[in-house]
Amino acid sequence: MSDDRGKADILQGMLDMLVLKTLAPEPLHGYGVAQRIRLLSGERIRIPQGSLYPALHRLENRGMIKGEWTATPTGREAKVYRLTPKGRRRLDEEMAEWRELSVAIGMVLGIA
């Protein structure tokens, strides 16, 4: 078994919501998005690059986020992503849907 045993697997829709939520406070580059999700989840969610970067491109293509190349303090270039107004609206919708689904699942499991 891998070292990620017990770590949550993230479905595409859930990953998109997490990325949007992570970018809501401030723009970040891809690595920063992954690190923030990992830290905020108490190390429980680790997004592999092979999932994160396709999600960033998908969200950018849908107009939910906008990426811009900028120079980093080390002189390298990094693409920094920020939430667009369309992305903020979608995040609000997805969070409302998530709350409803969480309540329903809790009811089925007898923990709500």
CATH code at position 81: 1.10.10.10
Look at residue 66 and tell me if it is in a domain.
Answer: yes
How many domains does the structure of the chain reveal? 1
Look at residue 3 and tell me if it is in a domain.
Answer: no
Look at residue 25 and tell me if it is in a domain.
Answer: yes
Look at residue 80 and tell me if it is in a domain.
Answer: yes
Tens of pLDDT along 76-110? 999 999 999 999 999 999 999 999 999 999 999 99
Look at residue 7 and tell me if it is in a domain.
Answer: no
Tens of pLDDT along 45-57? 999 999 999 999 9
Distance CA 90, CA 92 (A): 5
| Domain range for 50 | 12-109
pTM of the model: 0.85
Distance CA 89, CA 91 (A): 5
What confidence category does residue 2 fall into, taking pLDDT thresholds of 50, 70 and 90? very low
